[in-house]
Amino acid sequence: MTKTSKPGVSRRSTLALMGAGAMTIATPWVARAQAKTIKIGMPTILSGRVAQLGTSSRNGAMIEVDKVNAAGGLAGRQIEMVIRDSKGQPQEAARVARELVNTDGCELLLDAEASSGAFAVHEVARDLGVFCIHTNSETSSLTADPKQHIPNAFRSARQGVHDSIVGGGYAAAIAKAKGLKKWATCSPDYAYGRDTTGEFVYYLKQFAPDVEIISDSWPKLFQPDYTEVVTKILQAKPQAMYSALWGGDLTSYIDQANIYAMFSQMEVFAVNMADYTALTVVKNLPKGIHSGNRYIKTYPATAENAAWGDAYKAKFNEYPTNWSWENATAIMLTAEASRKANSADGKKIADAMRGLTIKSPFGADGTVTMRAEDQTLIGYAIGWGTTIPNEPYVPEVKSGDWKQILALEAEWKKTKGYT
């Protein structure tokens, strides 16, 4: 009988390889012991069309995490950020959040998901009881709706309703001054676009009752061709226009509206214009577009804010976005709450965070506060101004009045049945 020796990989090495492979694959299923560092899990979107949300969120968080770690960390424990991509799918966001907590040993969650992902992670937080701070979702109902209240979830992002109150007031003043009675709206057809536009129109009419919306358009998110929307608006011949389009969509819209000479025919109010992502990318930016602030390093016009913006640009070679400051604020709040509670325990941090006021370069008066009653951020710098195509982009910003914002927000909650 001849010896049968097979060429190629021997059985032993195949088994060894398979074993190694199995171990790599199975690592998530073997829970790891708690280390001296404290892990903060961060589900976000790092691929696809909204990848910039994830990358700038990560940058904003990391620039603050480095500062916290240099100062000793959270109650003596160094922060280790564990950042994962959910590809913009809510079920992936839920899975990633669960994995971060259950397997990777994350004790705190920094949820940098966009709206629907944020709701998915919110349910995970509800289920697991882990401390969670939402940093990018601007949908008011996430914290305003009592059904969503859980003691361990917070939000450090701006809220659509705040932007609309300030925007409505600002626009009403201009409407009255320039006699802009006929308005058109053009916003992306999804919850953020519809809610923000609806609220803006509501407050605009409150402050300027003569205003009438004669045309409304709802293009789909990421729609490439706005021709039918542009011609529809031009036909209606409004005197002013409001849009909640953002990012690439806003850029495409401006490009396409430009060749129809839309900007010479009406005043344009685009709440998301004054974001460096749009301001530095649009090539032929018309002058005089009114915009709310997203992140502008010259507003608030303080040294701290300018320094923060410059440091960010120096480190990452790009300007900060709205998402950057919201994530930075989350880390700042967590660090301060941890210091106050002298602990890195999620529950103690949550207790300390309710009602916490911290010094912040992004605050309207130098501070921001995590409101206790619905655990969302207030007091951040919020204002409107007109844009120019070069630095400083928004030379003058009219600030919103937080007393008025809070009063009107309370009324709004009553009408929605949240209180």
Partner 1 sequence: MDLDALTGCLASSACLVTQTTSGFIIGMLLFLVAVGLTLIFGVLKVVNFSHGAFYMFGAYFAMTAYQVTGSFALAMFCGAAGTAILGLVFERVFMSRVYGSDVLMQLLVCYAFVLIFDDVVRLIWGPEFKSMGMPTAFQVPPLFIAGGVVPPYYLLLIGVALAVAAILGVGLARTKIGKVIRAAAHNPGMVSALGINTGLIYGGVFALGGMLAGLAGALAAPVRSLTPGMGFSVLIESFIVTVIGGMGSILGALIGALLIGLIRSFGSLGFPLFTDGLMYLFMVIVLVARPTGLFGKEVA
Partner 2 sequence: MTELQAERAGQRAAESLGVPRVEARSRRLRYLDVLIAVAAFAVLATLPFLFSSKALLDFVIRCSAFGLFATSLNLLVGYTGMISFGHGMFFGLGAYGFGLIMQRTGVPIPVAFIGTLLITTIVSAVIGAICVRLKEIYFAFVTLAFQMLIHSLILSWASLTGGDQGLRGGIPRPAFLGVDLSNHMHLYIVSCALLAIGLLLMRQIAQSPFGYTLRMIRDNASRASFVGIDVWRAKLTIFVLAALFASTGGIIMCLFVSGAYPEFAYWTISGEGIFINMLGGVTTFLGPMAGTVLLLILNDTVTRLTDYYGIVLGIVILFFAIGLRKGLMDFAVEWYEQRRDGGTEHAR
Helices (H), 226-359: 227-236, 247-258, 276-279, 303-316, 322-341, 346-353
Among 91, 284, 404, 419, binds partner 2 (CB under 8 A): 91
Partner that binds at residue 43, options partner 1, partner 2, none, CB closer than 5 to 8 Å by kind:
none
Among 189, 212, 365, 373, binds partner 1 (CB under 8 A): 189
Partner that binds at residue 99, options partner 1, partner 2, none, CB closer than 5 to 8 Å by kind:
partner 2
One DSSP character per residue, 88-133 reads T-HHHHHHHHHHHHHTS--SEEEEB--HHHHHHHHHHHHHH--EEE
Are 195 and 412 a contacting pair, CB within 8 Å?
no
Contacts (Cβ under 8 Å, ≥6 apart) of 22: none
Among 63, 106, 229, 268, binds partner 1 (CB under 8 A): 229
Among 47, 235, 284, 342, binds partner 2 (CB under 8 A): 47
Among 37, 69, 102, 206, binds partner 2 (CB under 8 A): 102
End-to-end CA distance of the chain: 88
Residue 397, burial from CB neighbour count under 10 angstroms (0-12, 13-18, 19+): buried
Residue type, 133: I
Residue type, 272: N
Here the tokens at position 236 are 């209606």
Using CB under 8 A as the binding criterion, the count of chain residues that bind partner 2 stands at 40
Cβ 184 to partner 1, closest distance in Å? 12
Cβ 47 to partner 2, closest distance in Å? 6
Note whether 143 binds partner 2 by CB under 8 A.
no
Note whether 31 binds partner 2 by CB under 8 A.
yes
Tell me the per-residue interface mask from 253 to 292 with partner 1, x by CB under 8 A, - otherwise: --xx-xxxx---------------x---xxxx--------
The residue range among 21-29, 31-39, 45-53, 103-111 that interacts with partner 1, by the rule CB under 8 A, is 45-53
Note whether 98 binds partner 2 by CB under 8 A.
yes
Q: Which pairs count as long-range contacts for 271-274, CB under 8 Å and 24+ apart, including other chains?
A: 271/163, 271/167, 271/196, 271/200, 271/242, 271/243, 271/244, 272/244, 272/245, 272/246, 272/247, 273/387, 274/385, 274/387, 274/393, 274/394
Residue with Cβ nearer partner 2 (189 or 212): 189
Q: Could you give phi then psi for residue 398, rounded to 5 degrees?
A: -90, 120
Note whether 318 binds partner 1 by CB under 8 A.
yes
The strand pair at 79-85 and 108-111 is best described as unpaired
Note whether 247 binds partner 1 by CB under 8 A.
yes
Cβ 315 to partner 1, closest distance in Å? 16
> Interface residues with partner 2 (CB under 8 A)?
4, 24-25, 28-31, 46-47, 84-85, 87, 89-92, 94-96, 98-99, 102-103, 115-116, 119-120, 123, 126-127, 139, 141, 145, 147-148, 189-191, 194, 221
